[in-house]
Amino acid sequence: MDFILKKIVSMFIMPLPLGVALILLGLFFLYKNKLAKAKFTLMLSVTWLFLISYSPIVDTLLYDIESKNPTLHTSPKNIKYIYVLGGGHHTDETRPITSQVVDTSVVRLNEGIRHYQQLNGKAKIIVSGYHGLYDITEHAIMQKKLAISLGVDKNDIILHLGTKDTEEEAQAGKELLKDEPFILVTSASHMTRALNFFKQEGLHPIPAPTNHLANGKYLDYTDFFSATALKKSHIVWHEYLGLIWQKLKGF
């Protein structure tokens, strides 16, 4: 119940819903013939929508988050485990497994397999995640299917079933990983928050960020009201809120 409530609350405080809320509030003031308040609120809403959909601003903010942990180009020796955090999927057997698993999860798993290959298949890949609110198949099982289809030995895959979020993924790994250093794979934007969860459990993750989305070096100053920027704004806002929540919880 707490997980569902958290999802519902976070949905309404994301950048785009906040912008829509400001527009509705402005229209309400207009209906009430409160023109000064209506003008101010509507101007504020347009400004807000411009800021969260203007690529240079959004890319700069996201690039700052994604750059906090450097890329792990070469796998450290003697690593026994590679923990690939879950993302999402939509079960549909009429489609290839690469289409059933969302892009984020495909990229994360491919990064995990890259390190698996560098370690000559001597490490185990841990995949995690539950079925979501509207599916019947555990995400970890979908990731296992994808990993096997990409050449990973099924005996080298460990499932952590039923984990709903990163905090639960960290808790699930505690018994297996203990004091063992391991490679942690997740999206670059999510890595800092993920590391906090795993270190809180006394674990020793080696960050391997992937799925970098921000264009931090070649900004397009003509890209106004971009749908792609809106998606990135959602990620930025989500991570900032998550980090604030961790601090409030004493991380």
Of 177, 182, 19, 192, nearest in space to 112 by CA:
182
The pLDDT assigned to 68 comes to: 96
100 pLDDT higher than 90? yes
pLDDT (tens digit per residue) in 2-26: 555 666 666 778 999 999 999 999 9
Q: Give the residue with greater pLDDT, 159 vs 133.
A: 159
Which fold does the domain 81-210 belong to in CATH?
Rossmann fold (3.40.50)
Helix axes 55-66, 227-248, angle to 10 degrees: 40
Question: What residue ranges in the chain does DSSP mark as E strands?
Answer: 81-84, 124-129, 157-161, 182-187, 205-210
Helix (H), strand (E) at residue 186: strand 182-187
Rounded to whole angstroms, the Cα distance separating 57 from 46 reads 16
**Lookup: tokens for 99:** 């289409």
- pLDDT-derived band at 105 (thresholds 50, 70, 90) equals very high
State the pTM of this model. 0.91
Write down the domain spans for the chain. Answer: 2-66+224-248, 81-210
